[in-house]
Amino acid sequence: MNNTEIGFGMEAQGLFLVSSTVILLIIIFFLYKTYRTSINVEAKLSEFASLTDNRFGRKMHLIEVNADEYKLNKALLGPLARIIDEYCVLTTDSQGTITFANGKFLSLSGHAFSQLIGKNESINHPDSHDSGLPIMQCKHAASGVWNGEVCNQRADGSLYWMNMFLFPLSYISDEDDGFIYFGTDITDIKTENNQLIQEVKEKDQKLSHVETMLLHSEKMASLGTISAGIAHEINNPIAMLSSNLNRSREYMDTMSGVIKGLQKRINEKKFQQFLQAESDLKIDQRKLSFMLEDHPALIDETSEGIERIKQIIRDLKNFSHNQPESFSPTNIASCIATSLNLAKHELKNRINVSHANLESLPLIPGSESQLSQVFMNLFVNAAQAIEGKGTITISADCDDQWCTLKVADDGPGIPSENLEQIFEPFYTTKPIGKGTGLGLSICHDIIRHHGGTMTVESAPGTGTTFIIKLPLKQSEKVHAA
């Protein structure tokens, strides 16, 4: 044997020793790992056994621990292993005492084994103030399989929802009594559903409110039509009253002239005797003189009242006119005067209205009835916003293209969060029954149809100013609504 062969033999022997050592170390490692796994299994089983002596619970725990520690395929261990792997599982005895909870249930609930095993299932129930919520109760399955949603409470006090199946253990075991829950976490789905349900409720409420407002709007439209008809019918008796009053004025003036002429032609004593001769008159000379002086003022006041009634009727007819109409040259000062007359019941004696230079404004193409409606809404809203006495200031300015009108009040103002919604239909800050939320929306729409803009400036404590810009020349695209 030469040196070369001896060298090869020594190398082969060295390689064998190294390989043997590596294999031995690997075997020792796996033996140690298996030993440690076995120790862990025994420790977990021992811990579980110290908490309960329930046989079925120990079986379930044995399946779960061995599958986890030995990395076994739970699908090969039978249906119980697959249930443990795919669902949150909890078992109880016939009295509802918890005998097993798998890792998924523990992770979801935030409880440890020691907090659940041996405790009544009521440990998962929400606090007493949430007693109306559906809860885990094994008695649900007293007569067979039960399925439903339950609300549980985590260890930290937060709530979560599960879709649970519950059935007696006698369905899968001939030796054990009690019940088994298995279910899935539906907290996110439940939260989304609750949000959707709440949104649907809110939308239903809004639709109901809109429906009520639309019915109210239809009633108001009908009332406007009726009012226009009534105003037309009132015109006839008012015209008769006006005519008769003028004729009475002429008669009274004539009789007053006769009496005064008679007083000049006879002495005072004979005139007094003349008055006393008619016992039914019961009048003396002083009272007669007062009547002769007072009757023109009485007739003038009555005539003024009749003229006011006639003006209100004219304004009401114009205001309630709701048929489509073409734009025509419109006097803004006349629209404002009509609106102030109609809003007089709101302004009364507590609101001072200040305006200047309105008569000098140029005619604007538009609808007199619709623009009057805009101004009346603004005046009424301002008057209702002002508590006690206050002032409404109307100002106007024109250039070559636009007429800008401002209606300002010294009321409490509008919070900034409400300004963005103020022109939205049915939005109102007034109490229920005090406003429909349609007034400003309709005003905004009317001005838009006139080719103009309507904006608002306000802040709490500084009053409110509505700014209306109307074009001096009519665009071909705009028309009265």
238: exposed, middle or buried (C-beta count within 10 Å: 0-12, 13-18, 19+)? middle
Q: What is the pLDDT of residue 175?
A: 64
The whole-angstrom separation of Cα 134 and Cα 231 is 64
Residues 166, 171, 172, 177: is their CA dihedral positive or negative? positive
The whole-angstrom separation of Cα 162 and Cα 349 is 67
Q: What is the pLDDT of residue 340?
A: 86
Assess contact for 409 and 395: CB atoms under 8 A: no
Structure tokens of 26? 């690997």
CA angle 83, 88, 92 (to 5 degrees): 90
Residue with tokens 């395929």: 73
The whole-angstrom separation of Cα 345 and Cα 249 is 30
pLDDT beneath 70: ranges in the chain: 1-84, 128-131, 173-175, 213-232, 275, 277-285, 311-312, 314-326, 425-439, 475-481
3-state helix, strand, coil in the chain (%, to 5): 55, 15, 25
Q: What is the pLDDT of residue 469?
A: 92
Phi/psi of residue 168, each to 5°? -65, 150
Q: For the residues of 114-178, what is the DSSP string, one character each?
A: HHHTTSBGGGGSPPGGGTTS----GGGGTTS-EEEEEEEE-TTS-EEEEEEEEEEGGGT-SS--S
The whole-angstrom separation of Cα 241 and Cα 235 is 10
pTM for this entry: 0.41
Residue with tokens 């007053």: 256
pLDDT tens string 231-241: 667 777 877 88
* Among 206, 191, 180, residue whose Cα is nearest residue 91: 180
Q: For the residues of 195-235, what is the DSSP string, one character each?
A: HHHHHHHHHHHHHHHHHHHHHHHHHHHHHHHHHHHHHHHHH
Q: What is the pLDDT of residue 436?
A: 47
The whole-angstrom separation of Cα 265 and Cα 263 is 6
